[in-house]
Structure 1
């Protein structure tokens, strides 16, 4: 059963999912531009690009099961996935660092975190994740990769020194081309083991202890 704080987050999440009901149309418009030029993050500045509710609930459970406290997220968007992360750390007593390239999205996400009463738990960093996270030197319990896919590998490699025996890397949109390239590279390293979920849409990476 959810406590009062988790229920408050749940209320904001429900509102955001309602707001995102036209998200598919926005995504199609963004994707249509790729016929004439490669897609860019700004093509999706108005699209939620959120994880599903089922994924979100599963993510909360993962945090609780692994007692994750130190969480880093790549790809805040409007903050839906971050709010699910916050539901998890409300129980584990953790904190979240999340980074978003598009300032307008980050500002909206910050507003959503304030409404949900969890802004004190979340450090929002605006800009290129390769810059906003480059000096990160604290252990990472959970890394959520849910941003621009061609950055998955360089970001993973940059943050790798912060991984430990129980670190979990949650890879969303694992079935996309750039994500598959990233996962193939990781798979060649015997240090890691991979496990697919949700019909290969998600892959969990953990250390092969």
Structure 2
């Protein structure tokens, strides 16, 4: 087998260098993190860990955003900025735009902003610090793509379900939603025809839901 790094659709070596650095430093906390059965569910307890999409998901985000000419996108949660890099590279390469991110942990907001700056993409991202149920309530107009890769809850509706209900009306017809964690109530929402989505499960990172808004 070849040891050669997978080819990236992103041509900017400054961006790919930051992505490669983040991927090389990826680690999970002892006990598996917040999805472990007895782990701490406080997001501030994991300020040093970035729970990020994998590069194959990021490459798909980049290609889809380029394909639909995305200019305005949103994500929950930003974490340390891995997904933000792919989004920001895409909107920049589409001629300019904005990534609206939400992250509740201040240390991760600072790290994400440093990573974007290192990649030369700081001008294309607006990271809103706080609870996504508030920070993403008003995106300032229609968006082209939404990533929902947020924190697990203990009971009641998942954060993914709450965020999709808030953001779906702000997504344009023809736009995409990607979900990383396959929360059952999120899937229930996007698979209900009355909510206007077509949805498929992709074999990426153990299952990634890709949804197209058709109505």
TM-score for both structures, normalised by structure 2: 0.84
Out of 124, 127, 137, the residue aligned to residue 124 of structure 1 is 127
* Runs of 5+ consecutive residues of structure 2 not aligned to the other structure: 1-8, 153-157
Provide the secondary structure at the position in 2 that maps to 1:141: strand
Aligned to 1:136: 139
Distance (Å, rounded) in 2 between the aligned partners of 1:206 and 1:54: 19
Partner of 1:203: 209
Cα deviations by residue, 1:75-102 (Å, 9 ceiling, x for unpaired): 1111111111122112112211111010
Structure 1: 5+ residue stretches without partners: none
- The residue that corresponds to 1:172 in the other structure is 180
Structure 1 residues 140-159: aligned runs within 5 Å: 140-149=143-152, 150-159=158-167
Q: Establish whether residue 186 from structure 1 lines up as the match of residue 190 from structure 2.
A: yes
Give the structure 2 partner of residue 81 of structure 1.
83
Q: Which runs of 4+ in 1 moved over 4 A?
A: 31-34
The secondary structure found in structure 1 opposite 2:86 is helix
Does the CA contact (< 8 Å) of 2:164 and 2:186 recur in 1?
Answer: no
Cα deviation for residue 32 of structure 1 reads 8.7
* Separation in structure 2 between the aligned mates of residue 69 and residue 112 of structure 1, nearest angstrom: 21
Give RMSD over aligned pairs: 2.1
Tell me if structure 2 keeps the 8 A contact 1:172–1:201.
yes
Q: Deviation at 1:39?
A: 2.1
Give aligned pairs, total. 199
Q: Equivalents in 1 of 2:36, 2:30: separation in Å? A: 10
CA distance in 1, matches of 2:36, 2:164: 29
Between Structure 1 and Structure 2, which shows a larger proportion of helix residues?
A: 1
Alpha-carbon distance in 1 for matches of 2:114, 2:162: 30
1:179-209 Cα distance to aligned partner (Å, 9 max, x none)? 1221113312332110111256211111235
Q: In structure 1, how many angstroms separate the alpha carbons of the residues matched to 2:35 and 2:87?
A: 32
What is the Cα deviation at residue 31 of structure 1?
4.5
Summarize deviations over 1:123-159 as a string: whole Å, max 9, x none. Answer: 0111101111223231010001111242111211112
